[in-house]
Amino acid sequence: MNEQERQSVLTLCLMAAFADGDKHERERAEIRRIAASLAGDGDTGLAARYQDVLLGRVDLAEAVRGLDSVGSKQLAYEMAVCVCDADGLQSAAERAFLERLREALGLAAEAAREHSERAEAIAALPLAGAADSTVADRSDAVLDKQILDAAILNGALELLPETLASMAIIPLQMRLVYRIGKAHGHELDSGHVKDFLATAGVGLTSQYLEQAGRKLFGGLLGAIGGGLLGGLGRQAVSSGMSFTSTYALGHVAKRYYAGGRRLSTQMLREAFDDMRGQATRLRSQYLPQMQEQARSLDVAKILQTVRGA
C-alpha cells in the first residue's frame, strides 16, 4: 500500500469518526492528537486533514480518489466500519455514511453487510462473559491474573492484521473493568464502564484509530499471506498499546473499586499514567506470550474467542 492509499484510508477513518456528529470534546481532542501523531510518523498531512474533515471541507468522492486497488478499498471500508462501532452499535447517521462509502468504493453490498454484521456483533458483546463465575473472587492474586491474561490477549489481538481483531480489544477492556467492579460489589452497566475508561484517559474511537493507524503505517493491516509475526508484526506491537492500556486500566480499576470509587478525575488520570509506565516496562517480558497466543488465535473465530474470554 502506497502513501496516497494510506492517507485516503486514514482520511475515511476520520470521516467515519465524526459521521454521527456526537463526539465529546474530550474524544475530539484525542482524535486530533492521534492525527497529529500519525502525521508525524508518516508525514501524511493528517493533522491538517483532521481540520478539513471536522469542518466538512473534504467529501467522499475526494477521499476515495486515492484508492485504486480492490484490497485498499476493502480495507478502507472495513476500518471505517470498525471506527463507527468502536464506541458502540452504529447510529442511523453512521449506517447512512457507511452505505454512501460502500457505494463510492464500488463494493458489493453482500460482502460489506457481512463485515458490518460481524463488527456489530463484537461491539454488542455483553459485559458479562462466559468465563464469569456466579460469585466473583476479589483476591489480589485472582484479579492480578485476570488483568495480566486480558492484557496478553489484547496484545495478541494487536499483532493480528485483521481489522476485526483490533475491534475486539475495546469490548474486552470493558469486560475486564466490569469484572473487577463486580468483584468489589459493584454492578456496572456499559455506560458506567465507558465513562470510567474516558475519565482514565482512554477514548474508544480514538483508541481504535491509533491502533489501526499504527498498524497501517507498519504495513500490517491489509497484509496478504505470511509474515504475521515477522518484522512487520513486531513493528506493529512495538508501542505495546493494547497490552499497556489494558494492564493499566485493570490495575487502576482494581484500586478505584476497592477504594469505594472515591478517586477524583485527576487522581484517576495520574494513576493510569503511572500504571501505563509500569506496563511499558513489562511488555517486552510478556511479548513472547503475546506472539504465541497470536499464533494460536483463529481469526475466523474472533467473535467466539472474545465471547468466551
CA distances from residue 177 to 62, 66, 197, 280, 308 in whole angstroms, order as listed: 41, 40, 9, 20, 16
Tell me, yes or no, whether 93 and 202 share the same domain: no
Domain boundary among 122, 151, 175: 122
- What is the per-residue pLDDT across 122-170, written as a single tens digit (0 to 9) for each? 888 888 765 665 455 678 889 999 999 999 999 999 888 888 888 889 9
Domain boundary among 122, 140, 168: 122
Tell me, yes or no, whether 117 and 178 share the same domain: no
Tell me, yes or no, whether 156 and 294 share the same domain: yes
Instruction: Flag the least confident range among 44-58, 133-147, 195-209.
Output: 44-58
Say which residues have a Cβ less than 8 Å from residue 191's Cβ, sequence separation at least 6.
Answer: none
203 Rama sector, left if φ>0, alpha if ψ -120 to 50, beta otherwise: beta
User: Per-residue confidence at 223, pLDDT binned at 50, 70, 90?
Assistant: very low
User: Per-residue confidence at 239, pLDDT binned at 50, 70, 90?
Assistant: low
- What is the per-residue pLDDT across 29-50, written as a single tens digit (0 to 9) for each? 777 777 766 655 545 566 677 7
Q: Which domain holds residue 71?
A: 3-122
Tell me, yes or no, whether 106 and 140 share the same domain: no
What residue type is assigned to position 36 of the chain?
A: A
Tell me, yes or no, whether 74 and 161 share the same domain: no
Highest mean pLDDT among 8-12, 32-36, 270-274: 270-274
Tell me, yes or no, whether 15 and 156 share the same domain: no
Tell me, yes or no, whether 115 and 259 share the same domain: no
Tell me, yes or no, whether 168 and 208 share the same domain: yes
CA distance 76 to 55: 21
Cell of 184: 468489589
Tell me, yes or no, whether 292 and 256 share the same domain: yes
The number of distinct structural domains making up the chain is 2
Tell me, yes or no, whether 114 and 191 share the same domain: no
Report pTM: 0.84
Specify the 3-state DSSP secondary structure of 93: helix
Tell me, yes or no, whether 300 and 151 share the same domain: yes
Tell me, yes or no, whether 74 and 181 share the same domain: no
